[in-house]
Amino acid sequence: MAKVESKRGLRHLVEINRVADAVMAARGDLYIEIDYPHQIAEVMRHIRQVCGDRSVAASRMLGSLLRHPMPSCPDIMDVQFLKEMGYTRFLIGDDLCFKKEVLMQAIRLFRAVFS
């Protein structure tokens, strides 16, 4: 899996997609690296359009589950928004994977949004 996390990665996205099995859109890194952070949604759409089913959305998702068993409204909306962009593959951060119940709650949320 190739990780796109910078403007350089975005410039080479077509070539990266050609050789990679999957392309991770590292949202947090991209948010910091792009010139206009408010364009992160546009960047995520671009990666999805170029990479199609090879695209994987990643970066600090569902953080509210670390504090409460019910995900926050913004966390649910985040997953829904990525789904509407066409993302179907996600990388759940290791912070959620340290506790089995938190991971299971995250998986249940993905299943609910995608069912």
Question: Rounded CA gap, 100 and 106, in Å?
Answer: 10
Instruction: Give the position of tokens 């068993």.
Output: 69
24: pLDDT confidence band, cut at 50, 70 and 90? very high
Whether the pTM exceeds 0.75: the reply is yes
Q: In what order do the strands lie in the sheet with 90-91?
A: 2-4, 23-26, 55-58, 90-91
For 1-93, list the strands marked E by DSSP: 2-4, 23-26, 55-58, 90-91
Mean per-residue pLDDT for 73-87? 96
Question: Rounded CA gap, 89 and 99, in Å?
Answer: 21
Task: Report domain extents, the chain.
Answer: 1-59, 60-86+93-115
pLDDT of residue 79: 96
